[in-house]
Structure 1
Amino acid sequence: MISIKDLSKVFSPNGKNSIQAVNGLSLDINKGEIFGVIGYSGAGKSTFIRLLNRLEDPTDGQVIIDGENITALRKNELRLARQEIGMIFQHFNLLWSRTVRDNIAFPLEIAGVPKQKRMERVDELIGLVGLTGREDAYPSELSGGQKQRVGIARALANNPKVLLCDEATSALDPETTNSILQLLVDINEKLGLTIILITHEMHVIRKICHRVAVMEAGMVVEQGDVLEVFLHPKTEVTKKFVEQIMGDTEQEDALHLLANQFTTGKVVRLHFVGEVTNQALISKLSKQFDVEVNILHGKITQTQKGAYGSLFVHMDGKKDEISNVIRYITSTSVEVEEIDHA
């Protein structure tokens, strides 16, 4: 659906000192998926998303959407191509002198859609994003979540193939963020729309994305299925993002110190994936093996590809019996990580 090849963007604000915002970035994004791009401030992610619809022109590279090379289009061709690429913004970018209905209708006016068809489409979108009854309200009369729903409806007005979301929930409170993310999931499922979502918040990636790319210094340093990236982060920046969801390093340090207090047995961390998270594994171990199992700490979270989590336990018993327990756990597809004593 979307193929990005060696995309680069260099800014030269004073003609001398250049800034490499995006550096040789390549990605392939599948039709109908929600693809997340995450990075800290300055990673180049917002510049990257603006290159996809040429709000910024690339210094080098190609962006091919549904077989069309966006980077090679002339001005009039680009104007038409942009009708198939919707975009929503962090701060909504609404027209404050227009009502909800007129904001949503604006791109249809520009496209020359007749008034009757325009109003029919607007009414359809108002229902889709849950704004029925607020058609005649102005942006100043709306909550943050309602403003973003207007932004989403406006972005969908021309039936785009792709929806670009630039930090679409960063200005919203947690509850409103969840409702907007669920709306994006519903739109993705109902319309089969390809969504590219830029964020610096890992819980946003966890909640709705199928795959993710991690950006740092203008480059993609890691990418893959969300569940795989959460389970096996390879780079330091990815590990920091995963810690946002799975707990802080101070807690893990405390657990390692706790492990040193046990003079017998072994402390292990169990990694659960998918349906295994719902199985009564600890209960089975206590019944089938002559060991005592004490739960020290645990956390389970959910992604679009399934649940995963970690559990710290202390097992006490004979050495051979503990080894049998670890072999049994491994056979159930649960990963076992032994916690070293200092």
Structure 2
Amino acid sequence: MITLSHVKKIFQSKSGPLTAVNDVNLSIPEGEIFGVIGYSGAGKSTLIRMLNGLEVPSDGTVDVNGQIVSKIKGKQLRQARQDISMIFQHFNLLWSRTVRDNIAFPLEIAGVEKEERYKRVNELIKLVGLEGREEAYPSQLSGGQKQRVGIARALANQPKVLLCDEATSALDPETTDSILDLLVDINKKFGLTIVLITHEMHVIKKICHRVAVMESGQVVELGEVLDVFRNPKEPITKRFVQQLTEGEETEASIHQVLESYPNGTILRVSFLEDATEQPYISRFIRKFEIDVNILQGNITHTQKGAIGTLLIHIEGSEEETTKSIAYLQEQSLGVEVIQHD
């Protein structure tokens, strides 16, 4: 569905060339919800804008639905964009038009007859949950309602790909979740391929199947969301994984744990949903001559299942500690040594 091959984007600035995207290779199959996460300046916005031709790569190719978007122009590009819609952080609605007329706008441009247009708009209003707000203007809507209008408008021409440019970052957490639920529903109903960029790991874990982590214009980590959460490899990915919703680990809480337990070994043990049925920890405690304290625990839910995480402190001889860690690793659990004295 979407293939990026050795894509590079260089901007010319007063201080010289600026490489925003550097040799990115990605393949996104049809029907996937694919996330791109990174801090400001990572290159993710430039990357997503190359998918619909708003930016042209300096090198490499961008193939979307069989069209080499990086090579086509004019009428051919406009036709290709019929299959590639986009929703934005700040909604980009027409403020002088009602909800109904905003949604109808792309259909008008496409030359759809009035009767068919009216029918399609009504279907979309129902789909995004805006019944009763058809004649309201954007100034009369909440942030979540505005984004629902944006989503409905983006779906008007029945695209095959939906690009989401920080689509929830201007919304409160509860509204964010409702919009993410809507995107999942749309993905399941229509098999729509969704590519979203964000700086919020909560968005990635809630709806994405796979994720690419970007830093300094490069994809530094790529994989199934479940695998990335369970075993983040790069320092930036580890920071993102730690920046989750209330109740989960934070750098501050880890620092507090380290201060409270300066001796012994602290482990972060992660396990997939099926492993919760196995008494790994009780076996672990009985099998080795070590003292064990469970310090923290949480469960993170993703589109492909849940991951449990335990932060545990163990004390014992060097030999018993080494053997106990090896035992946990043999059970196919994720084991990270945070501290070892």
Question: Shared fold (TM-score greater than 0.5)?
Answer: yes
Cα shift at 1:336 = 3.9
Which amino acid is 1:82 matched to? R
Pairwise CA distance, 1:170: 0.5
Pairs within 5 Å for 1:102-181: 102-181=101-180
1:84 aligned to 2:86?
Answer: no
Instruction: Kindly provide the amino acid, as one letter, of the partner of residue 253 in structure 2.
Output: Q
User: 236, 249, 255: which one pairs with 1:253?
Assistant: 255
Q: Deviations over 1:142-195 (max 9, x none)?
A: 000000000000000000000000000000000000000010000000000000
Counterpart of 1:10 in structure 2 is 10
Query: Amino acid of the residue matched to residue 237 of structure 1?
Result: I
The one-letter code sitting in structure 2 at the alignment partner of 1:69 is I
Provide the residue aligned with 2:225 in structure 1: 226
Q: Which residue of structure 2 lines up, in the alignment, with residue 38 of structure 1?
A: 37
Distance 1:40 1:318 in 2: 42
> CA–CA distance in 2 between the matches of 1:66 and 1:273?
34
Amino acid at match of 2:102: N
**1:198-248 deviations in whole A, cap 9, x for unaligned?**
001111111110011111121211111111122222222212111212522
Output the CA distance in 2 between the equivalents of 1:242 and 1:38: 11
Is the alpha carbon distance of 1:340 and 1:151 closer, same or farther for their aligned partners in structure 2, counting shifts above 3 Å? closer
Distance 1:317 1:109 in 2: 73
Greater shift, 120-129 or 241-250, is seen at: 241-250
Gapped runs of 5+ residues in structure 2?
Answer: none
Give the CA deviation at 1:327: 6.3
Q: Against the structure 1 CA distance between its residues 337 and 92, is the aligned structure 2 distance closer, same or farther, given a 3 Å change threshold?
A: closer
> Aligned equivalents of 2:83 and 2:39: distance in 1?
29
Change over 3 Å in CA distance of 1:332–1:24 after alignment to 2: closer
1:61 aligned partner: 60
CA change 1:326–1:234 in 2 (3 A) is closer
What TM-score, normalized to structure 2?
0.90
Separation (CA, whole Å) in 2 of partners of 1:24 and 1:338:
33
Within 5 Å, give how 1:166-205 maps onto structure 2.
166-205=165-204
Two-structure CA RMSD over aligned residues (Å): 2.5
Equivalenced residues, count: 338
**Matched residues, percent identical?**
60
Contact 2:214/2:221 (8 A) holds in 1: yes
Query: 1:126-156: per-residue Cα shift (whole Å, max 9, x none)?
Result: 1111111111110000000000000000000
CA distance in 1, matches of 2:290, 2:55: 62
Could you tell me which amino acid in structure 2 is paired with residue 31 of structure 1? E
Cα shift at 1:71: 1.7
Tell me the CA shift for residue 299 of structure 1. 2.0
Whether the 8 Å CA contact 2:161–2:194 is kept in 1: the answer is: yes
Between 1:151-160 and 1:251-260, the stretch displaced more is 251-260
Tell me how far apart the structure 2 counterparts of residues 303 and 7 of structure 1 sit (CA, whole Å).
29
Paired residues of 2:221 and 2:233 also in contact (CA < 8 A): yes
Residue 72 of structure 1 aligns to a residue whose secondary structure is coil
2:70 aligned partner: 71
SS of the counterpart of 1:31?
Answer: coil
Amino acid of the structure 2 residue aligned with 1:275: D
Bigger drift between 227-236 and 130-139 goes to 227-236
Letter in 2 for 1:296: L
For residues 323 and 47 of structure 1, the distance between their equivalents in structure 2, rounded to whole angstroms, comes to: 46
Counterpart code for 2:155: L
Give how far 1:279 is off: 4.7
Provide closer, same or farther for how the CA distance between residues 340 and 218 of structure 1 changes in structure 2, counting only shifts above 3 A. closer
Does the aligned pair in 2 maintain the 1:274–1:306 contact within 8 Å?
A: yes
For 1:43 and 1:318, the matched residues in 2 are separated by 45
Q: CA deviation at 1:316?
A: 6.7
> Using a 3 Å threshold, how does the CA distance of structure 1 residues 318 and 7 change in structure 2: closer, same or farther?
closer
Cα offsets for 1:96-151 (capped at 9, x unmatched): 00000000000000001111111111111111111111111100000000000000
Q: Is the 8 A contact 2:34 2:195 kept in 1?
A: yes
Superposed, which structure 2 residues align to 1:257-336 within 5 Å? 257-261=259-263, 267-277=266-276, 279=278, 281-282=280-281, 293-314=292-313, 329-330=328-329, 332-336=331-335
Matched letter for residue 260 of structure 1: P
Worse-superposed segment, 16-25 or 221-230: 16-25
Amino acid in structure 2 at the alignment position of 1:103: N
Instruction: Measure the CA separation in 1 of the matches of 2:282 and 2:184.
Output: 36
State the shift of 1:11 in Å: 2.0
TM (norm. structure 1) is 0.90
Residues 1:313 and 1:9: Cα distance change in structure 2 (over 3 Å): closer
Determine if contact 2:209/2:224 at 8 Å carries over to the other structure.
yes
Which residue identity lines up with residue 294 of structure 1 in the other structure? N
